[in-house]
Amino acid sequence: MAAALLPVIVEAAALEAVLGTDGLLIVDLNEAQAYAQGHVPGAVNLAYASLIGPRPPAMGTIAGAEQLSAALSGIGLTPEHHVVAYDGEGTGKASRFLWTLDVIGHANFSLINGGFHSWSAEGHPVETTPNIPTPSSYAVTLGDSAIANKDYILSHLDDPNMVVLDARTAGEYDGSDVRAARGGHIPGAVNLDWMMTLDRGNNFRLKPEAELKAMLNERGITPDKEIIMHCQTHHRSSQSYVMLKSLGFEKIKGYDGSWSEWGNDPDLPIES
């Protein structure tokens, strides 16, 4: 199957060349109104909220197996599908969907580099007719290889082989922009604002691999270490997760509680 050859980060032109391939499922994470205005041919629309099961104050925690099974069955996903995801907002929502697939053990997936920005701006075909999927029976089992919770992070804070990657802005990281009961960051965490990895002048594609690796290396983010990513709700940091996966990092986890949990828990340590 041609789709099986697609890399984690796929260029729009490469995807266009395999549109219509059996076993390929293209998933649009835009709002329903944006999807109706135009989408990649053959794409089905998935509501971002269907992936989330808030546990206040943690507002971005992963949905339960029953909710995810219903959402993924609703778009006709089967274990054999190679999924290609995108959105029009910098690929954070699409990346969160792909991280969710990693959590449940669905390994075959790709992200359109630049999302709908690159697809639409560079003349690739767009359709407005909705694609109504044939529902499947996708049974979700939540694994733990791609997800970390606060207890896991707390128990590894002094582990030199683990790095916490904070994908929020510099202001959120240093505590000058407070979006929870407390501002600051997880002790020892390094800051790499997710937007710094994207090239706005190139339709929000990831910056060149060499540039990304240099940014990561100077922060001590290397493939030999376990990297745990978070932001406020593990939306922005999901893009960081997919980026690292595309660069060959294997020991990566997303912290879905993120700062909305950590920053609101007075029992957890912080730095600023």
CB-based contact 133:75 (threshold 8 Å):
yes
| Residue 231 appears among annotated catalytic residues | yes
Q: CA-CA distance, 129 to 42, in Å (whole number)? A: 9
Show the tokens assigned to 241: 């997760």
DSSP state of 2: G
Identified catalytic residue from 231, 243, 244, 252 = 231
CB-based contact 184:218 (threshold 8 Å): no
Tell me, what DSSP letter sits at residue 104?
Answer: T
> How far apart, in whole angstroms, are the C-alpha atoms of residue 55 and residue 76?
27
Are residues 204 and 91 in contact, defined by beta-carbon separation less than 8 angstroms? yes
Sequence-distant (6+) residues with CB within 8 A of 240 are 165, 167, 192, 194, 197, 229
> Which tokens go with 59?
């507002």
Residue 257 · residue 61 · CB < 8 Å? yes
CA angle 44, 48, 49 (to 5 degrees): 130
Q: Residue 14 is inside which H or E element, if any?
A: helix 12-16
Active site residues: 231
